[in-house]
Structure 1
Amino acid sequence: MTTASVYAEFAALEAHGVSPTYERLSLAVAGNPTILGLLDGLPPAKRQPNLLFGVVRLLGGPVGDPSDFHDFTVANWAEVEANLRTRSTQTNEPGRCAVLLPVLAKLPQPLALLEVGASAGLGLYPDRYSYRYGRHRLGSDGPVLDCALTGTPPPDRLPEVAWRAGLDLNPLRVTDPADVAWLDALIWPEHQHRRDRLRAAAAIAAADPPLLIRGDLVDDLPGLAARAPAGATLVVFHTSVLYQVPAARREAFDHLVRTLPGHRISVEAPGVVAFDSLPPAPDDTLHNVLALDGRPLAWARGHGQAATWFGA
C-alpha cells in the first residue's frame, strides 16, 4: 500500500464523519507529492496519519488549513522527522473502557487487569469511571463515558479490580506534563469531550498510579502476569495496539497469552487478530473486533463510542 493510499483510506474509513479536519487534511496529504516524498523516507510504521498529525500539533503547528500544514511541516521537517522516528501513537482513550465493561462485568470477580500497550494506564480504571449506554447510567464518579450499545443488555455493575498493571515499550506518566501534552496532541482537533475526559482520567490515575512496566509484549509479559495476586482473575487485554507490532511478534504473543491463566480481551482491527469468520460490520467506517479468549463478540468503534454485539 502506498503512503498516498494510506492517507486516502484514513480519510474515508477513520476520519470521515468523526473529524472533518483530519478528513480534509488526510486527503490533502494524499495528493501532496512534497509531503509524501518526505514521509517515504521513513519506515512504514512512522508514516501513519495519526502520528504525523499528532507530532505537528505537539510542535505547535496548524492542522486546520492544509496549506498552512504543508508550509509548517516542510519548513520544520527536521524536527517533525525526529519526533516521528522516536514517538509512536499512544492514544490512551478512556472511552474504550465502555466497550470492555460488558465483558469485564461478567468475569469472575475480583479482577487483576494487565494491559498490553498501556500508554499511561488510563484503560486500567474501568471501575473508577461512569458510563452512559443510551438511557442506562452506571457509576457516579469520574468522567462519563458514552457508548451506543446494541445487541446486548448494558452491564449492571462495575468490575471489582484488585490489581492493575500495564506493559509498554515507552510507558507515559500522567504526572509528567510533557507526557500529558503528547496524549493531548493525539486527540483529534474537534474532540473537546475526549480532551476533558483525558484530564479527568489522568487525575484518577495520578491519585492512585498503576504499576507500569517498560517492556516487550512477549519477553516481559510472563513475569508481569506472575505478579498478579492469587484469588483474582487475570485479564490480559489490548486495544488498538497490535497493528503496530510485526506479524511474527503478534503470532508469538498470541501463542504466549494462550498459556497464561485467566482471560484475554482483544479490541483490534479485523485481520490484526485472526478469526475464522465475522459478520458484516455495521457500516463502512473502521470498526475493531472485540473478542474474549479468541471468540469474537462485537464490532467496536475506535474510541469506544459504539459497540454492536453479534456474539453470545
Structure 2
Amino acid sequence: MLAELFRQSARDCAGASPLTSTLLAAASADLDSGGPTRRVMANAERARAGDVPALRFAAAVHRVVLEGRAPALAAHYPTVGGSPELGALWADARGVVEEHADELRALVDTTTVQTNEPGRSGPLFGGLHTATALAAAAAGRRTPFPVRLLEVGASGGLNLRPHRIAYLHGDRVFGDPGSPLRLDTGWSGEPDGDLDRPLRLVGRGGCDPNPVDVSTVDGRQHLLSFVWPDQRERWTRLGAALDLAAVDPVPVRRAPASEWLGEQLARPERDVLTVVWHSVVWQYASAAERAAGRAVLASAAERATAAAPLALLVFEPRRGHDPALPHEFQLLLKLWPAGRSLRLGAGGPHGTPFTWESAPWV
C-alpha cells in the first residue's frame, strides 16, 4: 500500500518535476525490496493518500540537501546549483537515505505538507477586487470596501500580503510595482473590478494547526524543502515571498480553523469587508473540522449586513468536466448578505496560469 502511494505520487508529479518523480519511483521499488526507504517510512506504513507520505519523504531528502549534508546528491538538485542526471539520481540518493535514515524518519513523522505557494496570491488578488466591488455595489457605496483578510490553513502566512506584490499581466503591473515579489500571473482575461485601484487591507491574520515561523532559518528551510527542486520559478518566487515576510510580518496562530474563526467572526465590523480565505487546504482537514468550520461561517453569514459584509474566497481542487483532468483548481466566491455565489475562474495548482471566467457557483 505505501509503495503504491509512492508510485501514485511519482505519476502525479512526472510532468511538473521529473526529478521528484524519478526519486519517488525509485523509492517505491526500494520499499518493495526492503531497502533503507522502508526504515525511513517505518511509522507511515498505514498512511492514507491524504497524508501524502511520498511528498513528505521527498521534502525530507531535499532538506538534507539544502543543509549541505549530501554533496553527491546535491549535484542533481538545481536548488543548490546542481543539474539532474535522472539515470544516476537514485544511486546517489540511496546512500543519503541510508546514512540519514533516522533523521529522515523524524522529519517525515513530524512534518505536514506545506507548500504555502505564493503564486496563489494572483487569484486571491483578483478575487479580492471582485469581492470588494460587488459588496460595494450591493451596499450602494461609491468606493470599494477596505478588507479584513482572515486565512485558515495559513502555514507561514505568505499569502497574507496580496497588496504588497507586483502582479505582471501582459505589459501592465498591478499591486505594488516596487515589491521584491514580482508575480507573472499567467492570466487569461481579467477579474471584475478596478485593478488599478489599490487594495486597502485594514486587518490581516491567519491560523494553522502547525504554523511555520518564517522569521527563523528552520521555518524558511521547512517551506523551501517542499518546493520540487527542478521547479526554479517556484523556488525563486518562494524566496522573494520569504524576503517580503521578513519586512512585513503577519501573525499566524496555532489553532483549529473553527475555533479561530469563531473568535474572529464573533462580531461584524462595520464599513469593512471581512474575507475568509483558504487555498489547497480543505482536503487536509478532517470531516469534523470541515463541518465545524462551515457552521461557524454560516452563523457569521447570518449576522452580516450590507454595511458589514462577509465573503468566502477559496482556491481549491474540485472535480472538473475533462476526464483527463480529474480535478481543476477553482476560485470560488460567496458574499453575504448580497447572496452572490460565483465561480470566478480556474487555473494551475500553484495559482498560475489562471483563466478568469465568471459563472454561478453550483
User: Which TM-score bucket, shorter chain as reference?
Assistant: 0.7 to 0.9
- Give the deviation of 1:111 after TM superposition: 0.7
TM-score with structure 1 setting the length: 0.85
- Give the deviation of 1:12 after TM superposition: 3.1
Tell me, in whole angstroms, the C-alpha distance in 2 between the residues paired with 1:185 and 1:228.
39
Find the counterpart in structure 2 of residue 203 from structure 1.
243
Matching of residue 68 in structure 1 with residue 92 in structure 2: yes
For the pair shown, the structure with the greater C-alpha radius of gyration is: 2
Query: Paired residues, what number?
Result: 303
Residue type at the aligned position of 1:199: G
Tell me, in whole angstroms, the C-alpha distance in 1 between the residues paired with 2:93 and 2:56.
14
CA shift in 2, pair 1:7/1:146, >3 Å: farther
**Aligned-residue CA RMSD in angstroms?**
2.7
Residue type at the aligned position of 1:28: A
Find the counterpart in structure 2 of residue 104 from structure 1.
128
Name the SS for the 2:214 alignment partner.
coil
Which residue of the other structure, out of 23, 29, 50, is the alignment partner of 1:31?
29
Matching of residue 242 in structure 1 with residue 254 in structure 2: no
Which residue of the other structure, out of 232, 251, 259, is the alignment partner of 1:192?
232
Matching of residue 122 in structure 1 with residue 164 in structure 2: no
Deviations 1:17-36 (A, max 9, x none): 32121122232233331336
The range that moved more, 86-95 or 222-231, is 222-231
CA shift in 2, pair 1:98/1:47, >3 Å: closer
Tell me, in whole angstroms, the C-alpha distance in 2 between the residues paired with 1:85 and 1:243.
19
Indicate if the aligned counterparts of 2:40 and 2:102 stay in contact, CA closer than 8 A. Answer: no
Indicate if the aligned counterparts of 1:299 and 1:308 stay in contact, CA closer than 8 A. Answer: yes
The range that moved more, 142-151 or 122-131, is 142-151
- Give the deviation of 1:128 after TM superposition: 0.3
Find the counterpart in structure 2 of residue 290 from structure 1.
331
Find the counterpart in structure 1 of residue 58 from structure 2.
53
CA shift in 2, pair 1:172/1:74, >3 Å: same
TM-score with structure 2 setting the length: 0.75
Name the SS for the 1:260 alignment partner.
helix
Tell me, in whole angstroms, the C-alpha distance in 2 between the residues paired with 1:40 and 1:227.
47
Q: Which has the higher helix share?
A: 2
- Percent identity between matched residues is 26
Matching of residue 265 in structure 1 with residue 313 in structure 2: yes
CA shift in 2, pair 1:141/1:296, >3 Å: same
Which residue of the other structure, out of 186, 199, 206, is the alignment partner of 1:159?
199
Find the counterpart in structure 2 of residue 275 from structure 1.
none
Tell me, in whole angstroms, the C-alpha distance in 2 between the residues paired with 1:204 and 1:116.
20
Q: Which runs of 5+ in 2 are unaligned?
A: 77-88, 133-144, 302-309, 335-340
- Give the deviation of 1:229 after TM superposition: 5.1
Tell me, in whole angstroms, the C-alpha distance in 1 between the residues paired with 2:221 and 2:116.
12
